[in-house]
Amino acid sequence: MKSNFPLKINRRQFLLTSAITSGGIIATNLLSKSTGFAQAPAIITPDKARPSIPYGVASGDINGNRAVVWSRSDRPARMIVEYATDESFRDAQRVVGPTAIDASDYTARVYLKDLPSDQQIFYRVTFRDLSDTKISSAPVQGTFRTPAAYRQNVFFAWSGDTAGQGWGINPDFGGMKIYETIRNVKPDFFIHSGDNIYADGPIQAEVKLDDGSIWKNITTPEKSKVAETLAEFRGNYIYNLLDENVRRFNAEVPILAQWDDHETRNNWYPGQTIVDDDRYTIKDVSLLSQRANQAFLEYVPIQINADDPTRIYRSFKHGPNLEIFMLDERSYRGPNTTNRQTEQSAETPFIGNAQVRWLKNQLRKSTATWKVIASDMPIGLVVPDGSTNFENFANGDGPALGRELELADLLRFIKQSNIKNVVWLTADVHYAAAHYYDPNKAQFQDFKPFWEFVAGPINSGTFGPNKLDNTFGPQVKFLGIPEDLKPNRPPSEGFQFFGTVKIDGYTEVMTVALVNLEGKTLYSVDLPPEKD
């Protein structure tokens, strides 16, 4: 039976339910599930003696009847999650989670399972003192909605590229306010397409703008240099969580996160040695990426893969209409080269053999109407790495060469297997665009036509547009910036973008929109599903 539970949540429902006094915090009375009677108020404890939750809560990796709830304590403590389908937490379930300890930088997560479908889930997180179980933090609340088991409207958003090129949290501007814009459209979930942080992009206190005015950033020691130590990588994630827009967003919008290069360093690849950047005392990029991977997995609400704890690629089902395939185009690639090899070799992987096999298998067996490939880089845009090498699939006009051979094989497989309704979503290039890939206009033609939508940045510098590579026949159907845009435009100029996707539960038409900082839809297209 379809739930009548309201979809819209009042912001005031997320205020802490504890009363804060000058001497401490009075814990909320909770209704005991076993007795039905209110518990006695907890003893007033001074703030400094109790754990706290300085960076809020987040949920993510919603997959059928499962979800991840994440938070961070300020000290060693045990995470406890209560959740219910009622905002008053009647008949709440309670999960005693893991301990948040120094080894995980006091982050912790709880895996919720057997959740009811098509329900708004309210949860609250507390951290309990390890030495005195009577002492706990004040609770912090969040919410998410589980997918329906039947065909129903699906609405989600995506973007990428947070706090890059020196554009950090500017309170005078309103902080990272595009997160508030996205929150206000009330997506079922949000795909962060990579560059969750800019570990290689220090944040300075002031940046002079073209008109002579000053952009003023909040700064921290960890964000004042390139990240090399594990503490510095962690500090990059903490920096973003200082923004109240981000914390409010995290409490209300579940996240599916992937990574790209700036979680470690610009344009990195496994085995790289830094030879041209004196800011780094550590030159081994594999060591840096190992620390970056740990910080990423600690600070995003991701379900850790038990068989491969460092793995980021994974897939999610969201009812009968949608399955999402989250790629990792960073961890398994070969070196950035001229990218013109005529045969596949150790230099040409981009997704990598194991991940390609996984993706083909997942696409083949998917029963969802729409298959969304979340790619952390665009397909047909040329992204140089220096004067001769390339960072992306694309290597310039002409036949499929180098890394393009791997993509050609994947696109050929999709056609030969008659896999329908595949759409690519991406970010990375710091502008918004809609691309249609047409085999009739391509150098390599053995594939089904498809769409790719680009969004971003979210509180980073705006660049572009990049040159198109005609190998797979891309056509620009929409460009969200002027052709002559000066590079590294600040967020205050408004060229910040995200995308939304709505799938109609009845017609199964997918509507993709590209939206700006103000919440204005700049472009929208309806994609009818291909039927059998």
Residue at token pair 């310039």: 396
pLDDT (tens digit per residue) in 63-86 = 989 999 999 999 999 999 999 999
User: What DSSP designation does 419 have?
Assistant: -
First to last CA, the chain: 29
Question: How confident is the model at residue 44, as a pLDDT?
Answer: 54
pLDDT (tens digit per residue) in 4-22 = 333 333 333 333 333 322 2
Question: Which of 246, 236, 242 lies closest to 178 in space, CA to CA?
Answer: 246
528 burial level (CB within 10 Å; 0-12, 13-18, 19+): exposed
CB atoms within 10 A of CB 523: 17
Q: What are phi and psi of 331, to 5 degrees?
A: -75, -20
E-assigned strand segments in 186-289 = 190-192, 206-208, 214-216, 255-257
Domains and CATH numbers, the chain: 11-145 (2.60.40.380), 154-199+217-263+299-527 (3.60.21.70)
Query: pTM of the predicted model, to two decimals?
Result: 0.91
- Mean pLDDT over all residues of the chain? 92
Ordered strands of the 314-317 beta sheet: 314-317, 322-326, 370-374, 422-426, 450-454, 433-437, 474-479
Residue 413 has pLDDT above 60, yes or no: yes
Question: How confident is the model at residue 49, as a pLDDT?
Answer: 86
Q: What is the 3-state composition of the chain as percent helix, strand, coil, each rounded to the nearest 5?
A: 15, 30, 55
Question: How confident is the model at residue 532, as a pLDDT?
Answer: 80
Question: How confident is the model at residue 8, as a pLDDT?
Answer: 35
Q: Is the peptide bond before 171 cis (omega within 30 degrees of 0)?
A: no
Q: Which tokens is 10 given?
A: 């009042």
DSSP H/E element including 236? helix 230-241
> How far is it, in rounded angstroms, from Cα 303 to Cα 326?
13
> How far is it, in rounded angstroms, from Cα 512 to Cα 421?
13
pLDDT (tens digit per residue) in 311-344 = 999 999 999 999 999 999 999 999 999 999 999 9
Q: What is the mean pLDDT of residues 381-406?
A: 97
